[in-house]
Structure 1
Amino acid sequence: MTSGPASPPAELPAEPPASPVTEPPATDGSASKQGDLSDHERHIAPHVMVYLFAFVPFVALFAAVPLAWGWGLSWLDVGLTAGFYVLTMLGVTVGFHRYFTHGAFRARRGLRIALGVAGSMAVQGPIRHWVADHRRHHLFADKEGDPHSPWAFGTSPAALVRGFWHAHMGWIFDRSLTNQQRFTPDLLADPDMRFVHRAFTWLTVLSLAAPPVIGGLVTWSWWGAVTAFFWASLVRVGLTHHVAWSTNSICHLVGERPWGARDRSTNVWLLAIPSMGESWHNLHHADPTSARHGVGRGQLDISARTIWLFEKLGWVSHVKWPTERRLGRLAARAAA
């Protein structure tokens, strides 16, 4: 892997927020030998909100197709939906995932906070919950202890159907929360991220309220606010949820495995653009700290290109770009 200059600019943290969890999974697949994975349960009120925010946007997705013909879809709605989708999805892929979870680069303080805010506005959970779950996923990938493996119930057709549901969205209804003391001590010690974590409810309100406010003001009508809320709030959140969850489910079940990883992660080209490059998932699991996941010809990785732009602007440094030597070793491992 390559890195940036020998010493970062003054505003950059001394070290990237890389995962503090490094021990390998138990050889017998027992999560109990890996310590306590969960330290508390979600309270009933936020647990009810999990169901609400999982299913209401999901229903909106089903309603979107018939409603798009002859009812309430303007170019303003399309623009707002696309704009908020890109903003919040990159907040997750570049921010929550490649930066906060894996430390693929170092970022200036202002950008760090902006990435935390944008990721929170995707309404996929507070930052520490998200990062803790994903670090745990990598530690126990497709083994006992993984919070969302589609292989958790076996390999029969019925078990895989059950596993797909569990990996895609069933796992989020478990009230047990991943141990943050173990998996996110860096974020617990970071006052900026403590603030972003506590602000999740208000950032969710902002994410849902901003589109109808803009739609209503631009059209100067309540109807403009209603359609903007439906498309750029509900439908957009539903899209970001299911695209992100597809990386957990589809990208561990079907697809290509050109890189040597210790789990069943795959590349699924069909999801590359909506996932901002996250669906080149096999390389990510083979080399988790890499800032780029899609390295082959035609493998578009919008998140990596965004990080490249940030690097050119001087907002990030020490970017861990993949090298030919590293990729050669990973390809050889897959062929062995």
Structure 2
Amino acid sequence: MAPHTRYTRLAEEALSPAHSVIATSQTYDGAAPFPDFPDDDRPAPARSGGERLQVAVTALIVTLPFLALGLAAWLLWGTLIRPTDALLALALYVITGLGVTVGFHRGLTHGGYRAGRPVRIVLAVAGSMSFQGDVIGWVATHRRHHAFTDRPGDPHSPYRYGTHLRGQLRGLAHSHVGWLFRNDPTPVERYAPDLLADRDIRAVSRAFPALCVLTLALPFALGWAIGGTWLHATTALLWAGLVRIALLHHVTWSVNSLCHVVGRRPFRTRRHDRATNLWPLALLSFGESWHNLHHAEPTSARHGVDRGQIDPSAAVIRLLERLGLVRDVRWPSPDRIATHRT
């Protein structure tokens, strides 16, 4: 079976929970809090030493870029950011952000197009440099999210604690960042067996720690090369490294949280799926915040399908298609889109 066909088949299977036995999801009413352990109704095992270390590393990854924002604000008091720092930050934001949206998401997770080996590897490396986790774990978690969107089994739904005000606020915090600290691992063997079978993607996944070092070392080195001083290197690391990572983190997490609570829903999705379109995030998220259409038609290579809906990720895929670097792109047809409209 061709890799693209296999990716697409697995992506489509992930949209249906039929392969999973979750009795609680079948009786979920859309408003009640989720059971803590819906897969088998058994308590999660105690964390091992390795799992505790992983939580500590996750906390560092989440908090360090955020603390950098405070440091950046302090440095900005009475001065301005250097143009070089801003340009480096913008360049790395675009490269790593598109690695996530075009590579991790629309390509590897949903099979929205077929890419050759070099393009697949480059996009996977770029996405890994976003500090959002290894590529196989990222894909598995996102496929699980689609299988159980806003129902028991969804790893980061804002409706986990119910739909009343207190539960909704708690749910937003959970869907934005709290889910990263839950002892609720997604089995990659179940949700991403195709990537586990891909030698290149396995290598990129194993290289994730080194790529995290690279994404910070690169702006530091470029700052030093351009400015010639430790100060230039440090400010480049701050802005084009830590602050850039923090911004991309929170934009991505906002698609998990805000784009299931706030915004418009012009397209029908599955029962209990509350994915929305949130236009203020469109440019920063490279088109990912046209989230309602994405959940209505997950394998589509374009998410922003209506007039005026900017979708930079789709534009990049179109460019790669014209250059002959990707093929079999799943562009949405007007007739198919029309069937999803409310």
Query: With structure 2 as the length reference, what TM-score do the two structures score?
Result: 0.89
Answer with 12-21 or 189-198: which moved more. 12-21
Which of the numbers 15, 20, 24 marks the counterpart of 2:17?
Answer: 24
Answer with 70-79 or 215-224: which moved more. 70-79
1:59-100 per-residue CA deviation (whole Å, 9 max, x = no partner) reads 222443453343462000000000000000000000110001
What secondary structure does 1:207 align onto? helix
1:126-151 per-residue CA deviation (whole Å, 9 max, x = no partner) reads 11111111000000000000000001
Aligned to 2:112: 104
Structure 1 residue 289 displacement after superposition: 0.2
Q: Is the 8 A contact 2:4 2:111 kept in 1?
A: no
Aligned runs of 1:77-96 on 2, under 5 Å? 77-96=85-104
Residue ranges of structure 2 left out of the alignment (5+ in a row):
19-24, 29-34
Q: Is the 8 A contact 1:16 1:106 kept in 2?
A: no
Query: With structure 1 as the length reference, what TM-score do the two structures score?
Result: 0.90
1:22-52 per-residue CA deviation (whole Å, 9 max, x = no partner) reads 533653248846899x999762323211000
Aligned runs of 1:238-277 on 2, under 5 Å? 238-262=246-270, 263-277=273-287
Aligned to 2:21: none
Cα 1:16–1:77 change in 2 (3 A) is farther
Cα 1:53–1:32 change in 2 (3 A) is closer
Aligned to 2:300: 290
Aligned to 2:84: 76
Structure 1 residue 16 displacement after superposition: 5.6
Structure 1 residue 167 displacement after superposition: 0.3
Aligned to 1:161: 169
Residue ranges of structure 1 left out of the alignment (5+ in a row):
1-11
Structure 1 residue 13 displacement after superposition: 4.2
Q: Is the 8 A contact 1:294 1:300 kept in 2?
A: yes
Structure 1 residue 210 displacement after superposition: 0.4
Aligned runs of 1:147-296 on 2, under 5 Å? 147-262=155-270, 263-296=273-306
Which of the numbers 61, 73, 81 marks the counterpart of 2:69?
Answer: 61
Is 1:49 paired with 2:52?
Answer: no
Answer with 176-185 or 62-71: which moved more. 62-71
What secondary structure does 1:122 align onto? coil
Q: Is the 8 A contact 1:61 1:239 kept in 2?
A: no
Answer with 211-220 or 45-54: which moved more. 45-54
Cα 1:109–1:16 change in 2 (3 A) is farther
Separation in 2, partners of 1:63, 1:15: 47
1:177-211 per-residue CA deviation (whole Å, 9 max, x = no partner) reads 20011000001100001100100000000001100
Q: Is the 8 A contact 2:136 2:195 kept in 1?
A: yes
Structure 1 residue 297 displacement after superposition: 1.1
Aligned to 1:329: 339
Structure 1 residue 17 displacement after superposition: 2.1
Q: Is the 8 A contact 1:150 1:252 kept in 2?
A: yes
Number of residue pairs the alignment of both structures matches: 320
Separation in 2, partners of 1:257, 1:245: 19
Q: Is the 8 A contact 1:77 1:215 kept in 2?
A: yes
Aligned to 2:133: 125
Separation in 2, partners of 1:23, 1:268: 25
Separation in 1, partners of 2:154, 2:234: 40
Separation in 2, partners of 1:260, 1:194: 36
